[in-house]
Amino acid sequence: MAEEVVYTEYQKAMIVFAKKFQDTLKASLVKPYPFAPGYNKERRAFGIRNMKSKTGNLYNSIQVKFDSSSDTIVVSMLDYWQNVNDGRKPGKYVPIKPLMDWIRHKGFNKNKKTGKFQKFNIKGMAFAVSKNIQKFGISPTNFYDDAFVDFIEDYENGPLMALGVDVQDFFAKIIDPTNK
């Protein structure tokens, strides 16, 4: 039988706040932002992008856990999170194969009325998307950066302080997903 782990009040608080930070990250990711203005906002925005329907894989991959053995908070998510957060500057083409997979996954070749797949040139569409990204880039969402600000606003002067957890201490213990 497994031995039960006994947590201190501090550890219990850190587990709770790791979960709250995870929720804040997810909420920050799904905020709507302008669709297709390019990295430097040199294009007219085509409305507001509904991130709730666009971020399923990344959203579902976000995990924030408190590791009591190392007294750290470990953030993990799919590798491309940084591209979503920071955007992509114009200048380089995007690899075609991942774009083709993305086009298939998103079902861009489905007929909206019948739901059946239509025959069309996925490779041509991938080249067009890659050219557009090369020319304009992709605007950043800053979801990861904004999550820190939102978390501090929500918890700094209330629950964190009440439990004796310093917000700078909390963030100093976070292991960034790029430093796995």
Q: What are the DSSP calls for 114-144, one per residue?
A: T-PBPP--HHHHHHHHHHHHHHH-B----HH
> Residue 134 has what pLDDT?
92
The C-alpha torsion from 169 through 60 and 109 to 134, rounded to 10°, is 10
* Angstrom distance (rounded) from CA 111 to CA 134: 28
Q: CA-CA distance, 165 to 156, in Å (whole number)? A: 9
pLDDT tens for 135-168 read 888 888 889 989 988 888 877 666 666 666 666 6
Does the pLDDT value for residue 88 go beyond 80?
Answer: yes
Give the pLDDT of residue 49: 62
- For residues 90 and 39, the answer to whether their CB atoms sit within 8 Å is yes
Highest mean pLDDT among 36-45, 48-57, 121-130: 121-130
Torsion of Cα atoms, 149 then 150 then 154 then 157, to 10°: 0
Q: Tokens in use for 2?
A: 């497994």
| 123 — pLDDT class (breaks 50, 70, 90) | confident
- Taking only the tens place, the pLDDT of each residue in 2-51 is 566 677 877 888 888 889 899 999 999 888 766 666 666 666 665 566 66
Do 168 and 156 contact (CB within 8 A), yes or no? Answer: no
Q: Over 90: is that where the pLDDT of 62 sits?
A: yes
